[in-house]
Amino acid sequence: MCGIVGYVGPKSSLEVLLGGLRRLEYRGYDSAGVSIIAPGGQLETRKKAGKLDNLIAEITSHPLPIANIGIGHTRWATHGAPTDGNAHPHLGGPTSKLSLIHNGIIENFSELKAELLALGTKFNSETDSEVAAHLIAREFDKTGDLPTAFANVVQRLHGAFTILVIHEDQPDVVLAARRNAPLVIGLGDGENFLGSDVAAFVEHTKRAISVGQDEIVILRADSIEIRTFDGVPVIPVEFTVDWDASAASKGGWSSFMAKEIADQPQAVADTLMGRLNSDGSVRLSEIDGLSADDILNIDRIIMVACGTASYACDVAKYAIEKYSRIPVQVELSHEFRYRDPIVTKNTLIVAVSQSGETMDTLMATRYAKEQGAKVLAICNTQGATLARESDAVIYTHAGPEVAVASTKALTAQITAGFLLALFLGAGRKQLATDELHGLGRQLLKMPALVTEVINNLDLARQLGKDMANAKSVLFLGRNVGFPIAMEGALKLKELAYIHAEGFAAGELKHGPIALIEEGQPVIVIVPSQRDADSLHPKVISNIQEIRARGAKVIAVAEAGDTEVAQYAEHVIYVPKSQSMFAPILTVIPLQVFALELSTAKGLDVDQPRNLAKSVTVE
């Protein structure tokens, strides 16, 4: 979950590190720290609990010398409270010449710590990470060779880690190791970078290499060398980052979340680009690896994901089942992995993740692969572990998502899910050509419709401000509106810290309706009236049932739905669309509602308490 950055080259390492940490702060913001080595000088470290601004204030009052090498860290606390002492970097050895940063959890740290304590090592923190700093420093004192010492120690560590190390006696090299935690190299001209993801260095270079499992990197200004933990050389595969550096900055918006909500027409358009022809036919060259027979042989799809990404799967399930008639199961990755699920070689696993680094989802896909299943990833981050480890990837092209609350990644994931549904529908011959092309043309209209929604959010904004004192908000939906209700509730929980729950509207009478009392706000996602088999009348009945018990209803409904206005206090209208595709529209007012309510409460919408964007521990 922590963010890691490393640099060696002619620039001021402090500037590169702080810029990288600013872009990685979404990964954790319990503390931040940097270590640098000035030419011919000593290792210097500054670290501070709290957000990056606290570290910057610390450096302003205790300036660092100009240097060209360094490492930086932003922390999401696991072992040890978020204090200055537990902040990274951690120094190793009696002379504190080695500095180390770590993302992950060293599972065997207690036994390693006991070993070090027996040798008289003094610890300065409660973290698991500090053991690695002392072990490497001791090993270096023995061997006199930093890469060898580093390799010897990382092989002894269990668990998940990306570790970066610099040493005062070897001031031209940054060492890195990766197991079960992300690490990417940025290739510059006479300079090189390391980062937890490409956002760390995209401002400086678009050339990148994704570091594989159990690999070590020896990074200098003019060279990189990659070896396995056992010392076998690795031939790196370079890729070009397609994120625009400016996309990872706020650019005048009040928050990253506000900007990312506004980015959604582009995110949806870019995810569709090149994948739908103008006649509506689908092209998904990324999964060319799946032959016609492979597609015909799929007997079940299991979609695995967490949080918001799991709601994208819930929406996609409706489309995939309807258009391709392949049964789809949606599973929270962490539940799937540990319940002995039935997976065969004819099961297609679709793993959905913005970051591509969510450990729960990685563990689920690794397990599925071990059982012989094929894994298709829907992922937003190039070079991410999930993308590397999957048989095929459909990239969502939402661009960097920095706010912890996922917005544009979700609408892009839902869009990719619809593309997959149409692709499979065609491959399984369940959709006639006319129908397929008609749906494709409807999907092509979505970016323009998203723009219309974005331009008409005043009511959602106002309601968010007006409801700043709400203690609880419930959300209801049916069919594709149900996952959107759950997403609306999740947004409110994570941003405004109030009780919120999403229900299937039909489920209410089986228990949750007991929650309704006078004045209870309920946001209802109302389906279109236009379909022959529309659930509109049923949702109107559900609204009547809760109104009769005192609920204050806010409806999100399709333009032209005058009936719902009779039963709701407020109606937020979204444009008419193919009803299957409506979630891409109806979720947006809920995002804005949560953003405004949280802002009205004076909370930090980009960095809500206790959270990190990328959850790289199980």
Query: With contact defined as beta carbons under 8 Å apart, do 511 and 527 qualify?
Result: no
Q: How far is the CB of 380 from ligand M6R (least distance, A)?
A: 7
Binds ligand M6R by CB under 6 A, chosen from 35, 347, 361, 411: 361
Q: Specify the residue, 26 or 567, whose C-beta has the smaller distance to ligand M6R.
A: 26
Q: How far apart are CA 194 and CA 178, in angstroms?
A: 11
Nearest-10 crossing angle of helices 264-272, 446-454: 180
Closest contact distance (angstroms) between CB of 494 and ligand M6R is: 6
Rounded to a whole number of angstroms, the minimum distance from the CB of residue 320 to ligand M6R is: 19
**Minimal distance, residue 403 CB to ligand M6R, in Å:** 8
Cβ proximity to ligand M6R, 395 vs 567, nearer residue: 395
Is residue 306 at the binding interface for ligand M6R, with CB under 6 A as the rule?
A: yes
Q: Which of 2, 306, 313, 379 is catalytic?
A: 2
Q: How many residues form the binding site for ligand M6R (CB under 6 A)?
A: 16
Q: Decide whether 586 or 614 has the Cβ nearer to ligand M6R.
A: 614
- The reply to whether 226 sits near ligand M6R by the rule CB under 6 A is no
CB of 541 closer than 8 Å to CB of 478? no
Strands 499-504 and 521-525 turn out to be unpaired
Residues facing residue 261 across a β-bridge: none
Catalytic-residue membership of 613: yes
307 binds ligand M6R (CB under 6 A): yes
- Closest CB to ligand M6R among 71 and 77? 77
70 and 14 in contact (C-beta within 8 Å)? yes
Closest distance between ligand M6R and the C-beta of residue 357, in Å? 7
Closest CA to 137 of 179, 167, 103, 170: 167
Contact between 415 and ligand M6R (CB under 6 A)?
no
Nearer to ligand M6R, 361 or 529 (CB): 361
Q: How far is the CB of 327 from ligand M6R (least distance, A)?
A: 24
Going from the C-alpha of 75 to that of each of 53, 360, 470, the distances in angstroms are 13, 19, 32
DSSP 123: P
Q: Which residues in 597-616 contact ligand M6R (CB under 6 A)? A: 614-615
From 48, 113, 491, 613, active-site residue: 613
125 lines the binding site for ligand M6R (CB under 6 A): no
Q: Output 14 or 398, the one with its CB closest to ligand M6R.
A: 398
User: At closest approach, how far in Å is the CB of 3 from ligand M6R?
Assistant: 14
Task: Identify which of residues 303 and 405 has a Cβ nearer to ligand M6R in the complex.
Answer: 405
* Whether 324 contacts 425, CB under 8 Å: yes
Binding residue (CB under 6 A) for ligand M6R from 129, 180, 358, 586: 358
* Residue (210 or 358) nearer to ligand M6R, CB: 358
Residue in 405, 457, 460, 505 binding ligand M6R, rule: CB under 6 A: 405
Q: How far apart are CA 320 and CA 414, in angstroms?
A: 11
Q: Which residues within the stretch 327-356 sit at the binding site for ligand M6R (CB under 6 A)?
A: 353-355
Q: Minimum CB separation from ligand M6R for residue 545, in Å?
A: 30
Residue choice 16, 17, 309, 590 for contact with ligand M6R (CB under 6 A): 309
In eight-state DSSP terms, residue 302 is E
Q: Figure out which of the listed residues 404, 449, 554, 585 binds ligand M6R, where binding follows CB under 6 A.
A: 404
Contact at 8 Å (CB) between 166 and 43? yes
- Binding range to ligand M6R, per CB under 6 A, among 103-111, 168-176, 400-408, 417-425: 400-408
Q: What is the dihedral of CA 205, 207, 210, 215, to 10 degrees?
A: -90
d(CA 617, CA 614): 9
Query: Would you say 460 or 571 has its CB closer to ligand M6R?
Result: 460
Q: 3-state class of 374 per DSSP?
A: strand
Count of C-beta atoms within a 10 Å radius of residue 503 = 23
The residue assigned the tokens 């949080």 is 307
Other C-beta atoms closer than 10 Å to the C-beta of 339 total: 8
Q: According to CB under 6 A, which residues from 468 to 507 bind ligand M6R?
A: 490, 494
Q: How far apart are CA 361 and CA 493, in angstroms?
A: 22
Quote the least distance from Cβ 255 to ligand M6R, whole Å.
Answer: 14
Structure tokens that stand for 525 in this block: 């996602």
46, 60 contact by CB (below 8 A): no
Q: Nearest-CB residue to ligand M6R?
A: 307
Distance CA 346, CA 601 (A): 50
Residue from 308, 390, 479, 528 that binds ligand M6R (CB under 6 A)? 308
322 in catalytic set: no
Enter the tokens of residue 600. 């009205």
The radius of gyration of the chain from alpha carbons, rounded to an integer in Å, stands at 25
C-alpha span between 571 and 561 (Å, rounded): 9
Report how far residue 297's alpha carbon sits from residue 317's, in angstroms, rounded to the nearest whole number. 18
Residues that bind ligand M6R in the complex, under the rule CB under 6 A: 306-309, 353-355, 358, 361, 404-406, 490, 494, 614-615
* Active site (catalytic) residues: 2, 613
